[in-house]
Amino acid sequence: MDAPKLLSAFVAVPDLVPGTRGSGMVMNWQQQAGVMYAGGNSSMLRGWNLCREKCTTALPTQTDSCVTSMASDDSIPGMLVAGFGDGTLRIFDSRSRPDYAVKTIMKEHTSWVVQTHIYAGRNELLSGSVTGELKFWDLRYPKTSVKSLEAHRSPMTALAVHDYAPIFASGSHNQFIKVFRSDGEQLALIRYHEGFLALSIMSALVTVATCNLNQWALDFDGNLERILESIRQAKALGARYRVGPELEVCGYGCEDHFLEQDTFFHCWESLEMILRSDVTNDILCDIGMPVMHNGVRYNCRVFCLNQRILFIRPKLFLADDGNYRETRWFTTWKSGMGKGNARGLDKFVLPASLQKLTGCVHVPIGSGALSTLDTSCGAESCEELFTPDSPHVNLSLAGVEIIGNGSGSHHQLRKLDQRMDLIRGATTKSGGVYLYSNQQGCDGGRMYYDGCAVIVVNGQVVAQGSQFSVKDVEVVTATVDLDDVRSYRGSVSSRCEQASSLDTVIPKIDVEFSLCHDEASFLQPTPAIDVHYHVPEEEIALGPACWMWDYLRRSGGSGFFLPLSGGADSSSVACIVGVMCHLVVEAANNGDEQVIKDVQRIMGTSEQEYQTLTPADLASHVLHTTYMGTKNSSAATKKRASSLASQLGCYHLEMGMDMMVDAVVKTFSLLTGKTPQFLSRGGNIQQDLALQNIQARLRMVMAYLLAQLLPWVRSKNGFLLVLSSGNVDEALRGYMTKYDCSSGDLNPIGAVSKGDLKKLLRWAAVKYNYPALQTVEEAPPTAELRPTDENAGEEADHSQLDEEDMGMTYGELSYFGRLRKIDRCGPYWMFRKLAHLWSHLTPTDVATKVKRFFFYYSINRHKMTTLTPSYHAENYSPDDNRFDLRPFLYNSLWTRQFRSIDTLATKLEEKKQE
């Protein structure tokens, strides 16, 4: 007999992509039609005529989830049933137009569909999901299943149906196989591996889970539900170990509420509710919450399993710079993880209700690790990853193979690459599995916690969650091979030498629990993937957009009000709201129930009205803009504002402010007998600034009036949040009027530079088809508060230019800001650096610019004390609230500093002339 020969080969799914838990390629053969259908980690199902080796059908799946199974019946031509990773079943009719091929979507399964089978000629379908649930369907009436059966309590791994006999069998990851009659009656139970000498045969494969949670400070009920949901999803995906964010029970941003006993009491209440439920059964959970031990507050990780508390691990190193003030509320755990045996573990006395529930009076607390039957697990928390001597180093040398990091890390432009380098580096040198979990969203303050939950094995990323999202819960899983970790570690001689001579004692708590899957598991290790990074323009759009959505829905507001001037700053804010609308509509169309609920509340729409929602429809409800022009405004800015509002779809008004301005000036004249004039019309600089500020401040007054009354005008309920639109460079220089349109309820761009905003406008103009943004970006920045040039045409831009007014460019301002904050330079040290960096200028010119900057910075610093709460984005933000703590009353002459600058500038000039 001749050996088999390969006759033909082709790529059936050309756009197949790897996933964090992918299905690979899935096929279905239709004998009578001679067509093979192929799908998987792809957005298309393709039908191939094998006689011609040609793709004859391409059906969009209309979902981001992967195809996990397919079934068909030759007696029903053109019909194909596919199961998906999100638990849905979709019935396709290949005879229809591709966009209308999906005829029915069944959503009763909640997780990965393991198998689908159509009984030939009977219009009957059997489906099973990884949750262990089987469902029987009548394909003539597929809206709801006919019958459900819970076949397994542990994850189902396989489902097989006999082609002729009325039986089927299903298998689970705990090595049980059950045989059923076609009506659902169980016929037999088979233990696939009985084991040898009572020892189960185990593999080194373990499925682990981490998550992004949109927690909210002090929202104990909401936080609890999100934690429970993340554990449920992790279990449904087969995970045996789950890591959650830092302080997830109460929310990271409680601040001085951490000083209150209420916070600790309610945290223990939440943990008790978690343990009373069955969610911790058969899954090791690492949960973040504050714990008070011996009268000292600690930021802790609490390990739970099977409704019991195993171990409490306090944080060893606290974050106390930038936006962080952890030492104000917590204390570091001072023992263990150091040289010698130190104090090691202590005994923590559980609250009385937990003692009664768990049957334990004490649990270990300290810097230790867990030792299960097949591996060992440890933890570090957020800031500890960033320290020079991170705990993961000694944990790895001590043989801990899986390390979880619950974090509360906020977004900052261009910061993710640093975080990812540290996470990957944690296992690159020493090997191991590293799980990073983070909050994601606005939890009540200026920061946006930017998620990006990730799983790394031996320095390679195998799973990554989103950085920006409007989801409340996002679970990321991966199946890892611990033998790969052991092999990796054993191959590095220097690492082995250090491990064998380690003098740090890490106590380990024994746990009678196995994380690894049985040898019979169908799972394979998750392959490595490339890390996804957003470009800065995307970060500026997506981060503030998600932050504003959380702020809007959690404040109970019904929308935003924005004074839209047609300039770069206000247009950037409007653009970000537009991006928010795109994100929200996309999430709602993907079936996110919480997003749908929030949208319906904000819009006041029914479910039917909601079905056809577009981003422009949502913008028309949530974004209200008004162009507030004066006789000093140009027609060009008015046109730009109108065009942008039209493209966004928002509710837009145009008004003249001259009547209000004239009334204020007239009132002043009646009171004092004097009338101020602009500089160009005979007034002095003091009069000129006062007249500019009147216009600016009246816009703020009008903004709040419109924000309060526009819902009434539009016959809607609720209130509007006022958006302000000052950027970080202008705040740093103080180039804004106190209590003008830089004042509002929140500011999404207050920590973003002018240069980055310009990039955002160029990017969004193309990405979201808002061409008006390109026109805005090309226009020179102008305040339009002084009289226009009488010789300028009607469509010309205003002659009052920001950079001329400031006496410095926005690029120079960014330089000053970074040197002042990031490089910690005062006037003299800044001059020393810039004298070399700006070699195109003379030392005297550099000195003049530096002194001008510090003069205006110091006389305007008081404006920071009333700055609108701004989204934290840039590392040189002058935010006075907590990030940039400075006096607001300066000696603006800087006598010693400026004298030192002048002396050095003179010396440098003389040296140049030599």
Q: Are residues 253 and 317 in the same domain?
A: yes
Q: Are residues 99 and 221 in the same domain?
A: no
pLDDT in tens, 311-368: 999 999 999 988 889 999 999 998 644 444 445 789 999 999 999 999 899 999 999 9
CA distance 776 to 207: 50
Question: pLDDT class for 864, splitting at 50, 70, 90?
Answer: confident
Q: Are residues 354 and 464 in the same domain?
A: yes
Query: Which segment of 151-165, 353-367, 408-422 scores lowest on mean pLDDT?
Result: 151-165
CA distance 386 to 318: 10
Q: Are residues 640 and 592 in the same domain?
A: yes
Residue of 267, 382, 452, 741 marked active site: 382
Q: Are residues 568 and 651 in the same domain?
A: yes
| pLDDT score, position 173 | 63
CA distance 475 to 465: 8
Q: Would you call 150 helix, strand, or coil by DSSP?
A: strand
DSSP string, 495-550: HHHHHHT--B---EEE-----SPBTT----PPPP-PPP---HHHHHHHHHHHHHHH
We report the CATH number of the domain holding residue 477 as 3.60.110.10
Query: Which segment of 72-81, 427-436, 449-458, 662-671 scores lowest on mean pLDDT?
Result: 72-81
| pLDDT score, position 520 | 47
Q: Are residues 249 and 156 in the same domain?
A: no
Secondary structure string (H, E, C) spanning 283-337: CEEEEEEEEEECCEEEEEEEEEECCEEEEEEECCCCCCCCCCCHHHCCCCCCCCC
| pLDDT score, position 199 | 38
Catalytic residue flag (residue 390): no
**Is residue 682 domain-resident?**
no
Q: Are residues 563 and 651 in the same domain?
A: yes
Q: Are residues 407 and 473 in the same domain?
A: yes
Q: Are residues 167 and 248 in the same domain?
A: no
**Is residue 547 domain-resident?**
yes
Query: Given 785, 820, 846, which residue is the final one in a domain?
Result: 785
Give the residue among 214, 768, 229, 209 at the shortest CA–CA distance from 470: 214
Query: Which segment of 397-401, 578-582, 783-787 scores lowest on mean pLDDT?
Result: 783-787
pLDDT in tens, 197-223: 333 445 789 999 999 999 999 999 999
Is the distance from CB of 828 to CB of 901 less than 8 angstroms? yes
Q: Are residues 450 and 578 in the same domain?
A: no
| pLDDT score, position 883 | 72
We report the CATH number of the domain holding residue 726 as 3.40.50.620
**Is residue 197 domain-resident?**
no
Residue of 23, 111, 127, 565 marked active site: 565
CA distance 247 to 694: 47
| pLDDT score, position 867 | 83
**Is residue 490 domain-resident?**
yes
| pLDDT score, position 431 | 95
Is the distance from CB of 436 to CB of 465 less than 8 angstroms? no
| pLDDT score, position 191 | 60
Catalytic residue flag (residue 471): no
Query: Which segment of 144-153, 565-574, 689-698 scores lowest on mean pLDDT?
Result: 144-153
Phi, psi of 905 (to 5 degrees): -60, -40
Q: Dig out the tokens for 874 from the structure.
A: 């840039």
Query: Which segment of 1-10, 316-325, 493-502 scores lowest on mean pLDDT?
Result: 1-10
Read off the pTM: 0.75
* Higher-scoring residue by pLDDT: 464, 861: 464
pLDDT in tens, 376-405: 999 999 999 989 989 999 999 999 999 999
Does residue 608 have a pLDDT over 70?
Answer: no
Query: Which segment of 182-186, 369-373, 648-652, 841-845 scores lowest on mean pLDDT?
Result: 182-186
**Is residue 855 domain-resident?**
yes
pLDDT in tens, 796-832: 555 567 778 788 888 888 889 889 988 999 999 999 9
Kindly compute the dihedral angle of the four CA atoms of residues 102, 108, 112, 114, in this order, to the nearest 10 degrees. -90
Query: Which segment of 494-503, 540-549, 710-719 scores lowest on mean pLDDT?
Result: 494-503
Does residue 109 have a pLDDT over 50?
Answer: yes
| pLDDT score, position 74 | 84
Does residue 471 have a pLDDT over 60?
Answer: yes
* Residue bearing tokens 């810097």: 367
| pLDDT score, position 522 | 66
Q: What percent of the chain has pLDDT over 90?
A: 63
* Higher-scoring residue by pLDDT: 77, 568: 568
Catalytic residue flag (residue 315): yes
The number of helices, as runs of H, and strands, as runs of E, in the chain is 24, 36
The mean pLDDT value of the chain amounts to 89
CA distance 353 to 365: 19
**Is residue 790 domain-resident?**
no
We report the CATH number of the domain holding residue 39 as 2.130.10.10
Give the helix/strand (H/E) hosting 489.
helix 482-490
Does residue 873 have a pLDDT over 50?
Answer: yes
**Is residue 294 domain-resident?**
yes
pLDDT in tens, 767-784: 999 999 999 999 887 767
Q: Are residues 317 and 432 in the same domain?
A: yes
**Is residue 310 domain-resident?**
yes
Catalytic residue flag (residue 43): no
Q: Are residues 540 and 462 in the same domain?
A: no
Mean pLDDT of 752-756: 90
**In which domain, by residue range, is 745 found?**
534-657+704-785
| pLDDT score, position 414 | 86
Give me the number of domains the chain comprises. 4
Residue of 235, 315, 758, 863 marked active site: 315
Residue of 133, 211, 246, 572 marked active site: 246
Does residue 196 have a pLDDT over 50?
Answer: no
Going across the sheet that includes 156-161, the strands are 156-161, 167-172, 176-181, 186-191
Strands 362-366 and 376-380: unpaired
